[in-house]
Structure 1
């Protein structure tokens, strides 16, 4: 389930947002606060310690890095127990034209837990709109920081 968006921000500007773990709740839909960011984020094995939901129904959970090519690709395992875990892949592809900018692709699917039992069209209906908004927020942050 992939969502693709173009931005005027270059890949480096987008990567700066992704590499700042404290910004995670600013662009990830549903994440409400950060509790901690492991030193070395976004190196493989590091984690974001965040909360999901709204007070008073907050769930403390983590997101960990499963793969990283600095400036180009970030692969994450997001947890939301008791619902399960999701694999997320963010790819940054510089646009070849002189105007700069890049294309961001975000792919996500359920990796484990009860939500995995839902048919793919139902999972798609849940995930894609959320990721469309997440990329919109990520682009706002990247374009704002690149000015």
Structure 2
């Protein structure tokens, strides 16, 4: 019996900016991507040489123009999911209840709206992967799978 091939996958990070009223921030993704025009939490993929935390802080700063002290970033969910081209991906979600600055589009040419949403009931136009993470977060689950 030959050994199974080693799993190699993209690592995604996302940050759930979590207000006192329980809502989290979503942004509308640009057209021309697999998330074309859909809402999603701020995030992206970890770049070579970055830690998960560094990637999450970079993405939230770039996408919604807020700064977060690394000590205010808390792990909240891990998801193994299938990407748009069938590839394995691992998503690491963090939450933050404190940040500096007012959330606004850091890339206005790419992002057209910011929406505060109830994570237990993601908007109908939330991209499926983000919606899955939001629902799991709302129920306190630490690990899940989606699309496998």
* TM-score normalised per structure 1: 0.28
Higher strand share: 1
* TM-score normalised per structure 2: 0.28
